[in-house]
A and B are shown apart, each in its own frame.
Chain A
Amino acid sequence: GENVEQHPSTLSVQEGDSAVIKCTYSDSASNYFPWYKQELGKRPQLIIDIRSNVGEKKDQRIAVTLNKTAKHFSLHITETQPEDSAVYFCAASFYNQGGKLIFGQGTELSVKP
């Protein structure tokens, strides 16, 4: 079945450094890859997404890259700030499967001042 693997499970960086989180997916038909940020006790919030017809997308300090051949995608956060501390989830989806999201296991990012 569909599977998404996410690494690392925890990541600690100094404020101002960059953070990279990587995901791989199993279903080559997947065509939509969102990233969600979830703070403790809060709902998942979409921070960026990418579709399979695009290799890279950037939004201010956040970027996502997609390698369809290798079936992996990555989240890059530059100039990290303490408020970036949260759990980040990647997900994969395929329209013909109703758009259901298959999530990775999550990465707990800690940004130290």
Chain B
Amino acid sequence: DTGVSQDPRHKITKRGQNVTFRCDPISEHNRLYWYRQTLGQGPEFLTYFQNEAQLEKSRLLSDRFSAERPKGSFSTLEIQRTEQGDSAMYLCASSRPRTGGVTDTQYFGPGTRLTVL
């Protein structure tokens, strides 16, 4: 499968616990994005990487959230001390950069659905 993959697909946790999600982008895609989607809403940008560098974090992203992409391949998103408001679908997407100010297509993974009890 050459698409974006995410693991786990579902995660149920109790409030206050830490959770970690993984995203494997399409091979050779050096841009990787994390989005959060709540029911009935469009995805909201959280953060993105170009290779291993985290270049932007949304103001929506509290200090409890941290993301890494240590070798420029897969990425992890960790949420510490989860709250019920963190319940959402966490989507990962990847793309290739293009020159000349052109944005390339972002391909999404299936998402990790987080439920915080």
Contacts and interface: CB of A to CB of B under 8 A. Distances in A.
Interface of A: 4, 6, 31-32, 34, 36, 42-46, 49, 51, 89, 91, 93-106
A99 B106 contact: yes
Contacts, number: 68
Interface residues of B, number: 28
A34 B105 contact: yes
B102 A44 contact: no
Contacts of A4: 42
B42 A103 contact: yes
A89 to B, nearest CB: 5
Given A46-B105, A104-B42, A106-B42, A98 B110 contact: no
Contacts of A51: 102-103
A98 B105 contact: no
B104 A100 contact: no
A101 B44 CA distance: 8
Given A89-B43, A100-B45, A106-B42, A44 B91 contact: yes
B108 A43 contact: yes
B108 A98 contact: no
A12 B7 CA distance: 35
